[in-house]
């Protein structure tokens, strides 16, 4: 089953709030607050677009406004001749236009008349819905292909496994970066066929390599959908900047109100191959561990920031370290340290740190295997209750 592409007409708000150019600023602001919207369109009586008034316009003008500004005409504060889009255009063109012009709202105009408005928030919501339809369509195709071979319960199991493979192909890098000065090992183990853990790499320029590790709360299908939305947000911003804080801030804004009651933790760092400086920012993710070959010490790589998708306009502060040959970084999700033994005791940060300290001289794959063996020995027969991702990067 092929899912048709979305047009702007299908995702726009077809009855946008409009005001006249001679409307006063105060009533328009009250109307926007009442309707919980970020923009209104300014039109003439015949429906011709005159401009757009957004929250950004208000903030830009009110900072320097003199007393009595509430009685100003909205035409004095609006953005005249705003960028527009036609209803028959593809929704991806709307995404590109918003990114190009750095706007959050686009008036939809047909035959010189306003017919709707499209916002970045509604666009992302429809994007998630459209992606859900595409995955559903692929799952249905797989199910139909196996109807004659498997019973119903076997079909469901098969489809979940196929969706898990599809998730891995869509979300995760096919292989670690091929820089000769770096050795990698990655262990990715979702609790169910579909998982909420996610890692990725980016190359914003030839001398910079970015690494992201993220964890959507929960596991299985719901968490996997949130992880997919996280991947879309990361893929849009990471190739464009070497600043980890900007990447997490963009992802946070992109995930606002799209994750239901779930949240995403994430750590993102960028390594400069010439200076060996590793600059990073954190959004509630467990601190990675830094093994220093010269001293044998293990230190947490600390930066603080709130989880993604919860607080709009959260600022993610950056920090940096300088790596030396033989140093390694150990990234992990909380499924590693929160694994429990038969008496309910967690594996914990201290045991992980001790394992890295005692075996940091090993290759990344050997250390990865050692950590997992240590955790399994601690947990015994107790099964894991969360997705687990472990990534180790060593500077040669």
Q: What is the mean pLDDT of the chain?
A: 87
- Residue 186 is predicted with a pLDDT of 94
- Residue 321 is predicted with a pLDDT of 98
Structure token digits, residue 323: 């790596």
Delimiting residues of CATH 3.10.580.10 domain(s) in the chain: 8-123
Separation between Cα atoms, residue 226 and residue 170, nearest integer Å: 13
- Residue 165 is predicted with a pLDDT of 57
- In 3D, which of 124, 24, 6, 128 has the Cα closest to residue 78? 24
- Residue 49 is predicted with a pLDDT of 93
- Per the CB < 8 A criterion, the answer to whether 180 and 396 are in contact is yes
> What is the pairing mode between strands 39-43 and 18-19?
parallel
- Residue 303 is predicted with a pLDDT of 95
Residue 164 has pLDDT above 60, yes or no: no
Topology (CATH) of 179-395:
Phosphatase 2c; domain 1 (3.60.40)
Write the CB contacts of 157 (distance below 8 Å, at least 6 apart in sequence).
none
Give the rounded distance of the alpha carbon of 326 from its chain centre.
Answer: 31
- In 3D, which of 326, 249, 337 has the Cα closest to residue 288? 337
Residue 154: pLDDT band with limits 50, 70, 90: low
Separation between Cα atoms, residue 89 and residue 108, nearest integer Å: 10
| The total number of residues written for the chain in this structure | 396
Residue 234: pLDDT band with limits 50, 70, 90: very high
Residue 279 has pLDDT above 60, yes or no: yes
- In 3D, which of 239, 197, 223 has the Cα closest to residue 388? 197
pTM of the model: 0.59
- Residue 98 is predicted with a pLDDT of 87
pLDDT, tens digit, 9 for 90 and up, residues 176-218: 777 899 999 999 988 876 778 889 999 999 999 999 999 988 6
Query: What is the spatial order of strands in the sheet that 49-54 belongs to?
Result: 18-19, 39-43, 49-54, 79-80
Residue 155 has pLDDT above 60, yes or no: no
Residue 10 has pLDDT above 70, yes or no: yes
pLDDT, tens digit, 9 for 90 and up, residues 287-316: 999 999 999 999 999 999 999 999 999 999
Label residue 42 exposed, middle or buried (CB < 10 Å: 0-12, 13-18, 19+).
buried
Residue 153 has pLDDT above 60, yes or no: no
- Residue 111 is predicted with a pLDDT of 87
- Residue 121 is predicted with a pLDDT of 79
Residue 138: pLDDT band with limits 50, 70, 90: confident
Range with the poorest average pLDDT among 55-64, 77-86, 127-136: 127-136
- In 3D, which of 169, 230, 237 has the Cα closest to residue 197? 230
For the segment 25-29, the average pLDDT, to the nearest whole number, is 93
pLDDT, tens digit, 9 for 90 and up, residues 77-92: 999 989 999 999 888 8
Residue 170: pLDDT band with limits 50, 70, 90: low
Delimiting residues of CATH 3.60.40.10 domain(s) in the chain: 179-395
Class of domain 8-123: alpha beta
């Amino acid at each position: 089953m092929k899912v048709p592409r979305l047009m702007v007409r299908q995702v726009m708000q077809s009855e946008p709030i409009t005001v006249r150019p001679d409307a006063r600023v105060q009533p328009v602001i009250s109307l926007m607050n009442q309707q919980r919207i970020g923009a209104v369109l300014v039109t003439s009586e015949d429906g011709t677009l005159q401009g757009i008034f957004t929250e950004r316009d208000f903030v830009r003008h009110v900072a320097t406004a003199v007393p009595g500004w509430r009685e100003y005409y909205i035409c004095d504060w609006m953005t005249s001749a705003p960028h527009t889009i036609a209803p028959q255009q593809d929704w991806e063109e709307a995404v590109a236009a918003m990114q190009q012009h750095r706007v959050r709202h686009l008036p939809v105009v047909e035959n010189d008349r306003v017919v709707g408005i499209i916002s970045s928030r509604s666009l992302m919501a429809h994007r998630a819905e459209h992606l859900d339809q595409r995955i559903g369509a692929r799952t249905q195709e797989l199910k139909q292909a196996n109807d004659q071979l498997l019973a119903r319960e076997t079909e469901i199991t098969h489809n979940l496994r196929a969706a898990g493979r599809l998730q891995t192909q869509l979300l995760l890098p096919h292989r670690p970066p091929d820089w000769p000065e770096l050795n990698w090992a990655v262990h990715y183990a979702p609790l169910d066929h579909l998982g909420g853990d996610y890692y990725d790499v980016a190359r914003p320029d030839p001398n910079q390599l970015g690494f992201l590790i993220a964890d959507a709360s929960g596991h299985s299908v719901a968490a996997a959908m949130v992880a997919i939305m996280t991947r879309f947000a990361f893929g849009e911003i990471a190739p464009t900047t070497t600043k980890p804080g900007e990447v997490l801030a963009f992802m946070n804004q992109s995930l606002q109100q799209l994750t239901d009651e779930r949240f995403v933790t994430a750590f993102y760092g960028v390594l400069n191959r010439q200076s060996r400086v590793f600059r990073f920012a954190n959004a509630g993710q467990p601190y990675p561990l830094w093994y220093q070959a010269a001293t044998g010490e293990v230190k947490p790589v600390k930066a603080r920031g709130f989880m993604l998708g919860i607080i709009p306009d959260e600022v993610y502060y950056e920090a940096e370290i300088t790596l030396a040959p033989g140093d390694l970084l150990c990234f992990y999700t909380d499924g590693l340290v929160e694994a429990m033994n038969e008496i309910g005791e967690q594996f914990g940060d201290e045991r992980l740190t001790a394992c890295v300290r005692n075996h940091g001289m090993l290759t990344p794959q050997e250390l990865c295997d050692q950590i997992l063996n240590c955790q399994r020995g601690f947990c015994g027969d107790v099964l894991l209750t969360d997705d687990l991702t472990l990534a180790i990067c060593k500077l040669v």
